[in-house]
Amino acid sequence: MIGKFPPNLMKKYIYTRLGIKDPDVIVGPQIGEDSAVIDIGNDKVLVVHSDGITGAVDLMGWLAIHIVSNDIAVTGAKPRWYLSTLYLPENTPEDVIDKITSQMDVAAKEIGVMIVGGHTEFTPKLERPLIATTAMGITDKNRFVRTGGAKPGDKVIMTKVAAIEGTAILSTDFREILIERGVKEEVLDSARRFIRNVSVVKEALALAERGLATSMHDPTEGGILGGLSEIAYASKTTLEIWEDKIPIASETSIICKALGIDPLRLISSGSLIATVPDDKVNEALEVLRSVNVRAEVIGEVKRRIDNILVILHRKYRTEKISDVYVPDELTRLWKIYV
């Protein structure tokens, strides 16, 4: 087994072993909620999120900053502080260290966060670099957004295109395999540039500032379907999703077809999923356009039925998903090829 712990292990070994109960923790560890929200007084909350970059190599420094920052921003808090723990194989050359830390520095400056600490080490028997990451931000207590805030009747909005992060990673770390399978180098070069769109900070904060979103989520592992499943699970709702409304870039389609994988289940940071009351959808779309972010309405929130996702595919096929855990295609590929 690789990838995220499935819910049964989280419930058995993680959520039941959290030490003391602190009354200032408003949102603690739970399925679907990526960030902790802590009351720090004066009507302010501290938002904290940790993650690991384990499925990328060439772009890991850039992703290390952006991915955790996304999970802060979807609560409505601006990311401000960042800590990292960098694990490197023995005898890692300095040019690798230079590349990773340079990417982190550029990404941090782009978002406007400071790297305030962490840890670095050469780790015995490690095969490739890994980064564990933590980001923090502060927002008003009465305005933070939960993943579990979706309400029946809301519309589901998605920004940009599906599988942005996965497309960028595959075009770099799987480049030779894709060339062997007939994917043209110009397609891979274009796909690599998707990494510039992996942040959702701008659009998440724009929606939060207007109070337009009832929930927001950055779909990482499990892709768009994984992110939607977590919103539905945390909100105790069912999401009806219209596949033909989900935008997929041509580069993503070409790469996924060559590898035989589903773009809707491919790690998808860079796409923001938000639920918005029906009477505020047009305003939300206009706000996103004002910050130069493309968005589509891809579904609606229903009262919970037997499943958490109902996907209306093309050609009138309906798929139902009842498990919040959606395995990621990138994780599966690493298992096959490495």
Which residues share a beta bridge with 301?
A: 239
* Rg, the chain, Cα only: 19
Give the residue extent of every domain in the chain. 7-140, 147-337
Q: What is the pLDDT of residues 27-49, one digit of tens each?
A: 999 999 999 999 999 999 999 99
Q: pLDDT-derived band of residue 247, with 50, 70 and 90 as boundaries?
A: very high
**CATH code matching the domain that covers 7-140, chosen among 3.20.20.210, 3.65.10.10, 3.40.50.1000, 3.30.1330.10:** 3.30.1330.10
Q: What is the pLDDT of residues 52-62, one digit of tens each?
A: 988 788 899 99
Q: Which residues, 6 or more positions from 27, have their beta carbon under 8 angstroms from its beta carbon?
A: 33, 35, 36, 37, 146
Q: In the sheet where 295-303 sits, what is the strand order?
A: 215-217, 273-276, 155-159, 295-303, 237-242, 309-312, 318-321
Q: What is the pLDDT of residues 103-143, one digit of tens each?
A: 999 999 999 999 999 999 999 999 999 999 999 999 999 99
Helix (H, G, I), strand (E, B) or coil at 127: coil
pTM: 0.93
Q: Report the top-level CATH class of 147-337.
A: alpha beta
Q: Which residues, 6 or more positions from 185, have their beta carbon under 8 angstroms from its beta carbon?
A: 179
What's the chain's average pLDDT?
95
| pLDDT score of 338 | 64
Which residues share a beta bridge with 138?
A: 46, 78
Instruction: Give the tokens for residue 130.
Output: 């890994």
Contact 218, 200 (CB under 8 A): yes
In whole angstroms, what is the distance from residue 185 CA to residue 182 CA? 9
Q: What is the pLDDT of residues 275-299, one digit of tens each?
A: 999 999 999 999 999 999 999 999 9
Out of 48-57, 59-68, 169-178, 265-274, least confident range:
48-57
Q: What is the pLDDT of residues 16-26, one digit of tens each?
A: 999 999 999 99
Q: Who has greater pLDDT, 232 or 306?
A: 232
In whole angstroms, what is the distance from residue 158 CA to residue 160 CA? 7
